[in-house]
Chains A and B, each alone.
Chain A
Amino acid sequence: MSQIKNTQQNSYQGKALWRSLDEFADTAEFRALVEKEFPNHAPELFHSTSRRHFLKVMGASVALAGGLAGCRWPQQQILPHTSRPEGRSPGVPVSYASCWEQQEVAEGVLVTSYDGRPIRVDGNGDHPSHRGSTTAQMQASVLGMYDPGRSSQPSHVTADGHATADWNLAISALRTAGRSGKVAVLAAPSSSMALSAMRNRLLREVADSSWHEWAPLHRDSERLGTAQLFGRPMRPVADLSAAQVLVCLDADPLMNHPASLQHSSDWAALRTSADDDEPILSRVWSVESTLSVTGGVADVRIPARTADIPRIAAQLAAATGVQLPSDVAAAVASAPPSTDDRIQQMAADLKSHQGSCLLMAGDRQPAEVHALVHAMNIALGAVGKTLSYAEVAHGERPAHIDDLQRLADRIGQGEVETLLLIGVNPVYDAPAIGKSWKDLIGQVPHSMHLGLYDDETAGVCQWHLNQTHFLEEWGDGRSWDGTVTLRQPLIAPLYSGRSALEVISAVVDDEAQSGHDIVRAVLQPLAQKDFESSWKEWLHDGFVAGTSNTVASAPDVTGGWGPALESTMQTVSGTEIVFLPDHSLFDGRHANNGWLQELPDPITKVAWDNCAVISPTLGSKLGVKNGDLIDLSVGEAHLSMPAFLLPGQHRDSIGVALGYGRLISDRAAGRLSRKPSLYQIADGVGFDTYTLRDADAVRAGYASVSVGRGEGNYALATTQDHNPVRPEEFMGDLEFNEEQRKVGEFVRVVDTGFNPDASDVKAQVEEAGPHHPDLESPWKEHEYKGRRWAMSIDLNVCTGCSSCVVACQSENNIAVVGKDELAYGREMHWIRIDRYFRGDDVENPEVVHQPMTCNQCENAPCEQVCPVAATVHNEEGLNDMVYNRCIGTRYCSNNCPYKVRRFNYFNNTKNPSATEQMGYNPDVTVRARGVMEKCTYCVQRINRSKIKAKNEKRDLVDGDVMPACAQSCPTHAITFGDLADPKSQVSLTQKSHRAYKMLAELNVKPRTSFLAKLRNPATREEG
């Protein structure tokens, strides 16, 4: 093997990472040796595509240059290094900055890569637009990349049916079709500058080409509304940390908003400040039809039909009496005065908090309502305080639905020879424009689809090309405030896919450029100094500093949209249906992600399904219980789906989540005549509510619906309240519930004002709990001489967003069990979020969320009953679970008062696919069947931090250890640290006047404290 053939010495070029000279020279002997030793080695090693080859070189050279880029190293997976490249330690995870994009907004992320395999996505704490936290969807994107159900190769229609193809064939087809003119592109909107550049090139270089954009969930009305008000589209950048009064009109800034992470963090600042010396508590008003996450944490929530919110906005504007353009003022004045006291109180709140208030409108509200809201914000002095505006690049676009109309018209007129669909799925999620999109695409001579999945749209196109996942590609994007954010690949494409940039380049360039080159070329002008060093810095940071395009002062306000506003205020009677983004699947793009499918909805707690959310009143009117099917009809479209009776839902409104009822594998099965893959988990899950959402509904944000009781019922799987909630029971049992379920003791809520009084709060928090003497153990207790790990969970800022649930799942290799097992009560989540309703109004209860995970009791009841001592205490107070020793009596789970232990009833991790295995966190044991598991306070992170500190010859300091849940939490509700250190954050929070321990009267001595929730209802006006 050490022989080197002289004849090949000249070819010692190109490989940057190698283990021996033979490999470097790629000799026949070396190949034979590898073949003999590793019969199933990856053949790509020797027959790599040019792209893979490029990435190898690229990744390696950047890595050698400064460890900036992370790519999979196929070589290293097969044979170990003989000499370790500088800057790499096997087994030591490395983080790289990249970005994730949804709804045209990029979020900076830090991706942890373990020996070349990305295993975690966390927030980029350095990024100016958010604070290092993540959403559940971002966390789950790792699984999305390793998804074995992703499309793995191009395929196309041939004379005798369908066939798979290689990328060379695909590219030549793309080039031929794309260059012949009459090209239309339907792409997902993106903030990427590189994509924008490629779009311009395509429009310029290809004759008769047009570019259209479609996203089923978009923020058009905000863009168009600001354009009406200011003459050009502006993006409102809110600073909730200054908004003492926040009014959300159908808006959900804490969850379904591209800047939800930033909003959450800012909003929390005014909730936790209740602990300060000069306590301030914000007040959140929410007007909405279906309980949203923001509505759940609102201090005052007014259920209203989505259709009625424009009128409420006008009434509010009238009650506030702010200065508006004359035609708008006339329109506002035309609204019938409100009879609801709460509107007056809201107006009073706004007036008394000028400069520290903010109004937000949701994206289902018409553009005029956005215009009105911004006009009010300006009049109330919000700009510069709680609000600033950013320029929107590429903002002068028609609304998405109009763009879709334009494309349909062009297709209808025969102006489209080639239709290129980039990352969109109109067959599934777009409303029919005259004809269904299946028929429209069928009319086009050449149709090509680029997407992550061989999905509904791919099924009707002649070509399907497999796209790269965002963790596999180069790219860029702009964050909510406009900061340019970079995307770099963490791994070579698992299935040799190509990015959107590369596919467009294949059309317009004679030799297709790599994504890397395209992005570099586009970003080059941004460099202030030497480009190479800037580039390195950007890659390292993940963003280009100082590129935020916010404007300091308020733009000029113009009127002229008053009549339009007035028309939105028309009263529509009857029941409406509102189409909501799913909290997990968004618009359906994450439907094949097991973590997200299994993630219970923050409000309904239903997993693996969507349902028609109706009010208990409507439920009893129709005579339906949870899970009973109801028939919904919008125009000609009908859908029968299970009802879910949600307290707080407006009685004349039905909320349905989008994104379910996918048919990914149907297409693959029909077209490639193969069996439906086991990995197409999205298929048949839930109900396709897009069928009810016609173009008018997309425009209006709601639709009129006729609803009736359907035939039969459907099993919904929930992780909580396994028994159906009947309205009469809810009302009748409320006192009983409060009394017996001890909910009031578990989640202590104190009603207070803008300036809570600490001693009063403390008294009320204590009053809420049971009184018991100081409890002594009859036997000698553990002594803790060293560290004492502990956690505090602030209920006041927990929004229930469930990011921690997926973060924990990703960190701790927690299995997905599927709907049936989940319905059986066998979910495996180590942290769950308990949702309770509070108050006696079933039409409008308050919502309280309580994240619940192992409390690491010092006097742990689970430990005493295990017959084999498989769960024991360690010297730092952690309740350790010894998987190897566990025989599975489940006694510990029975004896756990918090019910946080999870048992492997089946072998949940049997035969994971090859790619899924790559996504496991190697620091955490993958549990087999028959053993108990539970939260460990991320003991692997504690140990890693300890080792790191020891290597650096220092002590652990507060903040060194951060469990996955705490790290991901957008509101930083979870604090973790060492109780032995009196100055640690957790010591301080556990001493807070709001701190209490749940079920402390059992003498289990939990290490986790909860911080009581404070509410600032309008009835408790400060004197």
Chain B
Amino acid sequence: MKRLLEALKPILRPELTGNAESPEVDNTAYSPDSRVDLITGGNDNTTITDKVCSIVEDKPTIGWWGFFLLAFSVLGLLGIFVPFLIFWGVGTWGVNNPVGWGYAIVNFVFWVGIGHAGTLISAILFLFRQKWRTSINRAAEAMTIFAVICAGMFPGIHVGRAWFAYWMFPLPNQMELWPNFRSPLLWDVFAVGTYFTVSLLFWYMGMIPDLATLRDRAKNSVRKIAYGALSLGWTGSNRQWHVYERSYLLLAALATPLVLSVHSVVSFDFAVSQVPGWHTTIFPPYFVAGAIFSGFAMVLTLLVPARQLFGLKDVITLKHLENMNKIIMLTGMLVGYAYSQEFFMAWYGGVKVEKFAFINRAFGQYAWAYWIMVSCNVLAPQIFWFKKMRTNIWVMFVVSIFVNIGMWFERFVITVTSLANDYTSSAWDYYTPKLADVMIMLGAFGLFFTLFALFCRFLPFIAMSEVRGVLADQAHSREAALARHSSEADSASGSQGEN
């Protein structure tokens, strides 16, 4: 694999060969003395800007084209199977009488979960002054937006009469018919809608200074006009920066509760119902932890190849990746804890069907899915206890894929196993997906990766303005360390002199 990449390197990005070949810098060592550099390779403001802007300004590489076309053709599956679905009905899916929700809802929850890392990185880590977020927040936020788009598609097409899906919105009408505000599905509409709006705003606002950079560097009129319009007349004046930073902080504060709320509300779809295996109070925190877990895994899945392809190893450094791995390990253990607590509560609660639901989950007809979930989500991240592993690019990439698979199966296990064997045993059945289920699931990945490819190509992949700030900090702290070092030396010699 490595050799293959080596061989492909000139094709992938010939002009950056030098950069890409620059050795992986290990900046993960802990030093109580001084902070490690978050940006390596001796980059300064100019090189960072050049590097990031070149992704947008240079001709797209064959690698990008290959990725984009592949993703776009997979997206084509949606173009085939969604009309097919709407024309013939949801019977083209594998859903049946006890299992009313299948892949569509699994995918919905999966994608909403993916969409969590972005806002967490941009809002919560921002509030906690985690500087390492700057290298990854733009891509993570973009991923959030695209994941929520993928997620939002599913409730729309999963209903029996997709052409009336808009009835879920509280639209005034002459019959005074309103949606049922007691239904968690309606809460979903609001929760996901709000989350999408705020995430989009946040993402776009964060991009304005960088868009202005692109505008300023633009060499043709199309770019000038496009980026000019998008950057909303940003000049970088002191006053603008002041207002901008205030409002960014406010938006971050606004977005923070949403990180927790949206997946809590999604979990209500299950927790508020009375299906054994769904009806558990642990769901909101469990879902949020799982969402962060899967979100970070997806960020890794995207960034590990991207930093390689776009030569951004010194911007998205091992330190960044290691931090994310730590979060993955933490949240992985959180979901593992949730899994064990579900079993404890099922036993402790003394409700027969509840007990059955969980025994059945682990040992029943869907045991295979359950154990895939446990292996991928609980066991796989344990490898990150070893520093060598969590700083190994290949290991983390493979684990991130495992976590993605595991989290998809978590939703499958929750949704399907609970429905397939609930109260009335005479109605039990087995759910088998049909072709359309699988194709629409793949199509959603196609949509996601197509949008991501377009984002890489047309928008600043790294938050340049924020990274520049980090560079300044870095320089400052280096100077401070130097100064401290010399003053310590001075005082040492002084005291010696005194003595």
Contact = CB atoms under 8 A, between A and B. Distances in A.
Given A739-B352, A746-B424, A889-B158, A903 B183 contact: no
Given A720-B426, A740-B353, A824-B96, A886 B90 contact: no
Interface in B96-116: 96-101
A742 B423 contact: yes
Contacts, number: 162
B180 interface: yes
Contacts of A741: 356, 425
Nearest to B96: A825
B275 A868 contact: no
A802 to B, nearest CB: 14
A218 B96 CA distance: 41
A435 to B, nearest CB: 48
A733 to B, nearest CB: 11
B385 interface: no
Interface in B333-383: 352-353, 355-356, 359-360, 365
Interface stretch (B163-171, B259-267, B491-499): B163-171
B189 A867 contact: yes
A825 B97 contact: yes
A827 B186 CA distance: 29
B430 interface: yes
B180 to A, nearest CB: 4
B384 to A, nearest CB: 37
Nearest to A893: B100
Contacts of A864: 180, 182-183, 272
B91 A905 contact: yes
Interface string A890-913: 110111011100111111000000
Given A742-B423, A930-B89, A930-B161, A865 B184 contact: yes
Interface residues of A, number: 56
B274 interface: yes
A407 interface: no
B30 interface: no
Interface string B67-107: 00000000000000000000011110011111111000000
A740 B274 contact: no
Interface string A706-741: 000000000000001111000000000000010111
B272 A865 contact: yes
A904 B89 contact: yes
Given A826-B96, A866-B183, A889 B91 contact: no
Contact of B185 (A821, A891, A931, A1002): A891
Contacts of B100: 890-891, 893-894, 903
A741 B90 CA distance: 30
Contacts of A890: 95, 100-101, 160
A543 to B, nearest CB: 40
A827 B179 CA distance: 29
B97 A903 contact: yes
Nearest to A907: B89
Contacts of A865: 182-185, 272-273
A449 interface: no
A58 interface: no
Contacts of B88: 906
A698 B360 CA distance: 48
B140 interface: no
A674 B472 CA distance: 86
Contacts of B167: 868, 885, 887
A62 interface: no
A929 B85 CA distance: 12
Contacts of B185: 865, 867, 889, 891
A800 interface: no
B429 A887 contact: no
A740 B421 CA distance: 11
Contacts of B352: 739-740, 742, 770
A893 B419 CA distance: 10
A898 B95 CA distance: 18
Interface in A112-137: none
B97 A827 contact: yes
B161 A894 contact: no
A904 B89 CA distance: 9
Interface in A893-942: 893-895, 897-899, 902-907, 929-932
A834 B95 CA distance: 21
A821 B273 contact: no
A999 interface: yes
Contacts of B37: none
Indicate the member of A770, A850, A891, A898 with the most B CB atoms within 10 Å.
A891
A742 B353 CA distance: 8
Contacts of B97: 825-827, 893, 899, 902-903
B394 interface: no
Nearest to A824: B96
Given A887-B167, A894-B275, A825 B429 contact: yes
A206 interface: no
A836 interface: yes
A627 interface: no
Contacts of A898: 423-424, 427
A743 interface: yes
A906 B159 CA distance: 12
Given A821-B91, A886-B161, A905-B91, A867 B179 contact: yes
Nearest to B178: A869
B243 interface: no
A722 B274 contact: no
A889 B159 contact: yes
B410 interface: no
A824 B432 CA distance: 9
Given A827-B97, A869-B179, A894 B273 contact: yes
A723 B274 contact: no
A906 B164 contact: no
Interface in B248-287: 269, 272-275
B273 A903 contact: no
Indicate the member of A821, A868, A930 with the most B CB atoms within 10 Å.
A868
Nearest to B278: A894
A886 B159 CA distance: 9
Contacts of B274: 861, 895, 897, 1002
Nearest to B431: A825
Interface string A827-870: 10000101110000000000000101000000001011111110
Contacts of B186: 867
Contacts of A929: 89, 91, 160-161
Nearest to A895: B273
A867 B91 contact: no
A894 B273 CA distance: 8
Contacts of B178: 869
A888 interface: yes
Nearest to A871: B180
B177 interface: yes
B241 interface: no
B210 interface: no
A305 to B, nearest CB: 30
Contacts of B355: 740
Nearest to B357: A740
Interface string B117-137: 000000000000000000000
A871 to B, nearest CB: 9
A852 B180 contact: no
B275 A885 contact: no
Given A890-B100, A891-B269, 5 more contacts: A834-B426, A891-B273, A904-B89, A929-B89, A930-B161
25 contacts: A721-B426, A722-B429, A740-B352, A743-B425, A746-B424, A825-B98, A825-B429, A826-B97, A850-B426, A865-B185, A866-B180, A867-B183, A869-B180, A885-B177, A886-B160, A887-B159, A887-B160, A887-B161, A887-B167, A889-B158, A890-B100, A895-B273, A904-B89, A905-B96, A930-B159
- 9 tightest CB-CB pairs across the interface, nearest first? A888-B160, A930-B160, A905-B91, A890-B100, A825-B96, A899-B427, A834-B426, A740-B356, A741-B425
